[in-house]
Structure 1
Amino acid sequence: MDTANFISTKMDSSQNKSSTRQAHRRRLPPEERVAQILDAALEQFSQHGFNATRMDDIARACGLSKGGLYVHFGSKDAVFEALLERALTRTNWDELPQLAQGASARAVATWIVDRLHAALLEPQSIAILRLLISERQRVPTRLEQWREGVLRMRAQQVTARIHDDLAASISPDSVLARHPWLALSPVMHTVLWQALFGEGTAPDDDARQAHIDLLCALLE
């Protein structure tokens, strides 16, 4: 490459980097900026661990100065707390498509499994679970909130959906009515599997369909 072309290429590269930085640092509404910071923080925590990640790393990852980051969060712990809070409030089943009343057992089972997979197997949910496991001594209260706010709440939502759609055909003495957490067991197995072995993995190639079949058997 001749000198003129080399200089031109370097200038183009510098301009592209400058444009990227300017795009990152453009003024955003506070809620959008906070979401951008949390996404960058989750990526940094996941790659390097909480202890090894610095506020400088988070600022750099989202294209902010360190001072710009401190406008929104006063410490790395505050960023971590906000990440966990977002994970606890992210999925609202009330905002998702509902079944027609009187749906069949298989339709109810499929709806439940789809909702559980959407809420619990989303990559950010898996990343948050890994953080909770690795930092459980640091945030025991948040770990308990995840258990209550995600697992127990999902079990209650499953029970409510079964009651609303199959009240006339399911016995209150059925094992699923008495132990609604059983509806979550297959997907939690997959959640833990992915937390250990990576997103996209599962204990069985037909894990989702097996979950639906299991719910149908319990409902019937």
Structure 2
Amino acid sequence: MSSTVAPRPPARRRRLAAEERMRQIIEAALIEFSEKGFTATRMDDIAARAGLSKGGLYAHFKSKDQIFETLLFKVLSPSFNNRKWMLDDGDTLAEVVDAFIAHTYDRVTDPDFIAALRLLITESHRAPHLVDYWRREVLDTYLKEQQTMLEHCRARGLVRHSPLTQQAELLMAPALYAAITRMIFGEEATQASLKDLRRAHAQLLMELLEPVEA
């Protein structure tokens, strides 16, 4: 007597939450844009890299421009809470500076951040409208808020008047230098100098922000 075993039904593709699927697409797009460039990358390439059909990709994004825009917003958006400069939660200036340094350097040395920064530099002339939109909506908005916080702190006597309170971009300048050198020379070549740069950056902020004792 022979017995037959019913064949297993084909494995069903696991349904991912919308946020997880979006993250997967953005990661795939970052790889494709980095390897092929923005212009040469096709929606089919991104869909294949993300393990989706082309129709599945279009269910989340209408165009390559929209994917590129979302990538910039998600990967290159500063996220340090500028309200912390106000010291309203009882933190000292030294604690806020340490938190700012840790947060900023963790962000600018992240491999995805480095890849997106390289993409921004190399592809900005091919998608200037998208880069300009990111600058206005993300970078300029964040720096304006940071500038406002620093001016309020100066008015309350929490920080001193210095070039940092006049130009908020200077707060992050050494960290961006770290990101650029890592982008050019790689992690291994810059790892040792990074610790010294972080330490010096923190010291610089304290010396230029700490109020002068009367």
TM-score normalised to structure 1 length: 0.71
CA contact (8 A) 2:76 2:117 kept: no
The reply on whether 1:219 has 2:209 as its aligned counterpart is: yes
Partners of 2:32 and 2:64 in 1: how far apart? 11
1:99-123: CA deviation from partner (whole Å, max 9, x where unpaired):
6645444323212212322443332
- Structure 2 gaps, min length 5: 1-9
1:210 deviates by 1.1
* Alignment-derived partner of residue 150 in structure 1: 139
Partners of 1:121 and 1:113 in 2: how far apart? 12
Partners of 1:81 and 1:159 in 2: how far apart? 27
The reply on whether 1:175 has 2:175 as its aligned counterpart is: no
The reply on whether 1:126 has 2:114 as its aligned counterpart is: yes
Q: Please point out which of 41, 63, 76 is paired with 2:29.
A: 41
Identity %: 40
CA contact (8 A) 1:99 1:111 kept: no
SS in 2 for 1:114: helix
* Alignment-derived partner of residue 209 in structure 1: 199
1:214 deviates by 1.0
* Aligned amino acid, residue 39 of structure 2: N
Distance 1:51 1:79, change over 3 A: same
1:209 deviates by 0.9
Partners of 2:128 and 2:53 in 1: how far apart? 31
Distance 1:134 1:104, change over 3 A: same
- Equivalences for 1:22-37 in 2 at 5 Å? 25-37=13-25
The reply on whether 1:50 has 2:33 as its aligned counterpart is: no
Count of residue pairs brought into register by the alignment:
198
Partners of 1:160 and 1:107 in 2: how far apart? 16
- Structure 1 gaps, min length 5: 1-17
Partners of 2:62 and 2:186 in 1: how far apart? 32
TM-score normalised to structure 2 length: 0.72
Distance 1:212 1:28, change over 3 A: same
Q: Please point out which of 153, 160, 165 is paired with 2:149.
A: 160
SS in 2 for 1:204: helix
* Aligned amino acid, residue 131 of structure 2: L
Partners of 1:115 and 1:84 in 2: how far apart? 19
